[in-house]
Amino acid sequence: MPIDARYDPENVFARILRGEIPSDRVYEDADFVAFRDIQPAAPVHIVLVPRGEPPTSPAALREADAGWVGRMVLVASRIAAEQRLAGRGYRLVVNCGDDAGQTVGHLHLHILGGRPLGPVA
Ligand code: AMP
């Protein structure tokens, strides 16, 4: 999706957060929900999604977002540990715009692991 796209409240993650589309949730708290990716790219592939209407991508982040973005990385590392990935390692990915292959315009973080993941790109 284009890097400058406006937030679409009908995007798939907004619909998952509203419970309109089912998801295999592995974690939730007041700020975030995490569920298994429908097209897993690794044995463990979880998407961590902020609640509400976050920026569409990292390109739209502001200084004021630094706190919750930091917490999102912290939560992701905790989920990775819960999924028993901490010993072997894992990858956290945030896609931004078309060249990164971003398809959902609701900022999110991928947690990938469970096999050697190879080079980043
Ligand atoms: P991105 O390419 O970074 O925008 O990531 C979007 C991810 O959402 C992709 O890995 C998709 O497989 C995943 N996805 C799309 N629809 C669903 C869904 N209904 N449930 C779980 N994951 C989904």
41, part of any domain: yes
80, part of any domain: yes
7, part of any domain: no
pLDDT at 1: 86
Number of domains in the chain: 1
| Residue range 13-24, pLDDT digits in tens | 999 999 999 999
**Residue 118: Cβ-neighbour burial (10 angstroms; 0-12, 13-18, 19+):** exposed
86 CA to middle of ligand 1, Å? 23
- CATH at residue 55: 3.30.428.10
34 CA to middle of ligand 1, Å? 12
Q: Would the pTM count as exceeding 0.85?
A: yes
- Amino acid making up residue 107: L
Backbone dihedral angles phi then psi of residue 44, each to the nearest 5 degrees: -115, 120
% of the chain residues with pLDDT over 70: 100
Residues involved in catalysis: 108
Ligand 1 atom with the shortest distance to the CA of 35? 21
DSSP secondary structure letter of residue 7: P
3, part of any domain: no
Domain span holding position 89: 12-113
65, part of any domain: yes
6, part of any domain: no
Helix, strand, coil shares, percent, the chain, to 5: 25, 20, 55
